[in-house]
Structures are given as C-alpha cells and as structure tokens.
Amino acid sequence: MPEPDKQPPTDAQKKAAKFLIRPKSDFTAWRKAREEERAQAFAKAMAHAKIGDVMPDGTVYAGISLPMNAHLFVTPQDAAVAMQFNEAAKYTRELDAHGHQDWRLPTIEELQLLFRNNQKGALKGTFNTTGRNGSFWYWSGTLMGAHGNIIRVARFSDGLEAWGTALRGPPNCRPVRLVPVFAV
C-alpha cells in the first residue's frame, strides 16, 4: 500500500523509467548488434577495397602494414597543426575519430608505405609535400637511440628518412590504426 503522501507513479512515469533504466543486457545486445553491423559493412567494403578508398567509417585504406600483417587505415587529413613529438604522440593516443579510439603514430615503415601510396585515391593531395620549416616532414612512432629519445621522421616531398632531432620546425602528424588481416 502506498504511503498516504506519495502518489503511485503514472503510466507515463513508468514508461520513462523503463526507457531510462534499461537492463544492462538490453544495452549489451544493442551495442553488439551495432558492432556486428559495422563489422559487416567493413567486411563488405574490404572485399573490394583498393588503396585510397574511403571506408564506411570515413577512414582511408592505405595498404597492408607488412611488419604488423594488418590493414593500415589513416585519417583523411593530417592533424590540424604541426606539433612536437610528445604532443603528436598524445594527440594520436587520445584521438577519438571515425568511431575508433585506437589511433597511434605510424612506424617508419608505415610512413614509407603512406609515402608510396600518397597519390592514390582519397590519399591524393592530403599530405604536405611542399611546406617550409619542417612541415613536409611526418612523425613516426619509431624511437631510436640508447634512451629512445631520437625519433624517426619521413619527408613527403621525396620519401627521405631522417632523425627528428635535426628538424627546424615541428613535423606533421597523420594518425593511423591497424586491423589485423585475419579479422576481415
């Protein structure tokens, strides 16, 4: 029996409560269905994907990263500004874009793959190849040196690799993510 000063909930209140407080299993089932839909769309797109194709999630297919045996995807554009290495590493690590949160800096080998493919499909014209003061260089996540304090970079005007310590200005940052080949 309800307390005298409290009214029983109305049908509208019950309906709202049902909507707002869903059992975890309902949310889990919904999320699983969305992930399955995304996976199916991705698999369909990958069946005929070519380097430079824009994927259903908005990322661009850049080829296969052989050292990692995985499909390499990039954001459609560089980060908005050139930045120092620690900023670039943090930026990619914290990036939440195109429905993904597993972005990182490319390895030096992946930068070379991007350089070789930078004129294909949607990649064409999206890399800085003519900038001044280091802006046509791109950071890799490849660290060298006894203390891991020397960072490899690649220049997109000609593919030259160098050490990040010799640059006059901050390089560009192009986030990448991998999807294992067997996952497709």
pTM, entire model: 0.74
Q: Give the domain range for residue 141.
A: 49-183
State what percent of residues in the chain have pLDDT above 90: 43
Residue 155 lies in a domain: yes
State mean pLDDT over 81-93. Answer: 91
Residue 57 lies in a domain: yes
At 16 the pLDDT is 57
At 47 the pLDDT is 76
Residue 125 lies in a domain: yes
Residue 81 lies in a domain: yes
Give the integer Cα–Cα distance in Å for 85 and 18: 48
State mean pLDDT over 27-51. Answer: 78
Q: What is the dihedral of CA 174, 151, 154, 105, to 10 degrees?
A: -20
At 166 the pLDDT is 56
Over residues 12-29, the pLDDT tens digits come to 666 655 555 555 566 677
- Number of folded domains that form the chain: 1
Confidence at 33, pLDDT banded by 50, 70, 90: confident
At 132 the pLDDT is 60
Question: Could you tell me if 122 and 116 are in contact, meaning their C-beta atoms sit under 8 angstroms apart?
Answer: no
Over residues 125-162, the pLDDT tens digits come to 999 888 665 568 999 998 887 666 788 999 998 998 88
Residue 110 lies in a domain: yes
Residue 21 lies in a domain: no
State mean pLDDT over 42-53. Answer: 83
Q: For residue 167, give both structure tokens.
A: 């640059």
Residue 163 lies in a domain: yes
Closest by Cα among 61, 71, 48 to 123: 61
Residue 40 lies in a domain: no
